[in-house]
Homo-oligomer: A and B are copies of this chain.
Amino acid sequence: MSTKDLSDAEARERLIDLAAEFYDQFAAGEIPRMELPTRTKSNIEYDPEKSVWVYGDRKSTRSANSVSGARKLLKAAYTIEFLANQLDEDRSSTLRELYYLSESWDNEEAQFNGQDESNNLVEDLEIITGVTREDFHMRPEESGATLMGPLKLREQTRRGEREIHCQLDVGEGGYQIPNNPDTIEFLDHDIDFVLCVETGGMRDRLIENGFDDEYNCLIVHLKGQPARATRRITKRLRDELDLPVVVFTDGDPWSYRIYGSVAYGSIKSAHLSEYLATPEAQYVGIRPQDIVDYDLPTDPLSDSDVNALESELEDPRFQTEFWEEQIELQLDIGKKAEQQALASRGLDFVTDTYLPERLETMGVL
């Protein structure tokens, strides 16, 4: 998958090529089919060259040799036509709109039965064509994360270019990342490292305390499980500006998954790892070790927390010395803590003590 924004014409061409393949298969008297990598945990593997997890060699075939298979390819053909027209007209739409729009298609057999079906088909098309959803001009339902820090950028909007400095030209809410961050060009910056933060409360604390200003860091609000746009811009900051990236979350298994989705990508979208994942991203905390070291207020682990931790121990992406040690410690102490629990040591503890100490140990400061 290309890490550069494809031109609309190229994206369109790859879609048309796929439709042409169906056509050629028909013409040759073959039953039309699409081949896809099998998208399961057992078929992802580590690519040491790119340092990301990608799909392995196992393949699944979608063939028109059954009624339901034929219907899948019919839907693919209609969707390809819709996307090709959308690119031609320089428009865009959401996944949800695509689902509803299919109700207007002349062939009832081509209409989607539910949004899962249309979402999956768009992912299939991403994988086969090597074009990202963003380059098909498909928007997510919600994006919503923000940046704050010493970065000047240029965004290409439908209404012209906008040059924005992410401290001087924005309010306290920060700069809102657009749905497709590949419309952004980095112009100038004074960033020493990128700090991705899980919760809004902590993001606001860091900004009130002037952490971005004092340490020249760019604060990326992850807003829980980060949207694709947030992961994409984080990756671009790492690659294009050669910046260290650290991830600051709560200290529980769900938050380690948030770190994982920034650093390793997800199983469901392993075809996008090279485009979305930032394997160099380091985890700054909250670590189970911090719960012990800083005597933080905690909640007991629930059964589902324990299950999630055990499943992470078996996940190849978490099989490192650091994570095995931390996860086993957490199972041992039976506790979790939120990042805002640092406030039990005072409102400035996180910016005066915790982050400087941790970042120094990690070699970021």
A315 within 8 Å of B (CB atoms)? no
Verify B142–A200 contact, CB threshold 8 A: yes
Copies in the complex: 2
Interface bits A70-102 vs B (CB < 8 Å: 1, else 0): 000000000000000000000111101100110
If A175-B171, A347-B93 touch, does A341 touch B100 (CB 8 Å cutoff)?
A: yes
How many of chain A's residues have a CB under 8 angstroms from any CB in B?
57
Is A312's beta carbon under 8 Å from chain B? no
Q: Select which of B162, B171, B179, B297 is within 8 A of A176 by beta carbon.
A: B171
State whether the Cβ of A170 lies closer than 8 Å to any Cβ in chain B.
yes
Q: A167-B159, A200-B144, A205-B94 are in contact. Are A344 and B101 (CB under 8 A)?
A: yes
* Chain B neighbourhood of A182, CB < 8 A: none
Are A144 and B223 within 8 A (Cβ)? Answer: yes
Provide the bound-state CA to CA distance between A140 and B199, in Å: 11
- Residues from chain B with a CB closer than 8 A to the CB of A141 are 199-201
CA distance A357 to B63 in the complex (A): 46
Q: Is A174 an interface residue (CB 8 A)?
A: yes
Q: Is the CB of B205 within 8 A of A347?
A: no
A157/B144 in contact, CB under 8 A: no
CB atoms of B167 and A176 under 8 A apart: no
User: Which single member of B168, B172, B341, B347 contacts A158 (CB below 8 Å)?
Assistant: B172
A155 contacts partner chain B, Cβ-Cβ < 8 Å? yes
Q: Quick check: is A305 within 8 A (CB to CB) of the other chain?
A: no
Q: Give the complex CA separation of A114 and B340 in angstroms.
A: 14
| With A104-B346, A173-B178: A97-B297 Cβ-Cβ less than 8 Å | no
Distance in Å from the Cβ of A359 to the closest Cβ of chain B?
21
Known: A162-B170, A171-B155. A176 touches B92 (CB 8 A): no
In whole angstroms, what is the CA distance A178 to B346 when docked?
Answer: 24
Q: A92-B208, A204-B139, A345-B104 are in contact. Are A172 and B179 (CB under 8 A)?
A: yes
Chain A positions near chain B (C-beta within 8 angstroms): 91-94, 96-97, 100-101, 103-104, 139-144, 146, 155, 157-159, 162, 164, 167-179, 183-184, 199-201, 204-205, 208, 210, 213, 223, 297, 338, 340-347
A94-B205, A142-B223, A172-B179 known; 13 new pairs, CB 8 Å cut-off, are A93-B347, A100-B344, A101-B343, A104-B344, A141-B199, A142-B200, A144-B173, A144-B223, A155-B171, A162-B169, A164-B169, A171-B176, A173-B175
| 9 shortest interchain CB distances as A-B pairs | A173-B176, A94-B201, A142-B200, A97-B343, A155-B171, A103-B344, A100-B343, A172-B178, A100-B344
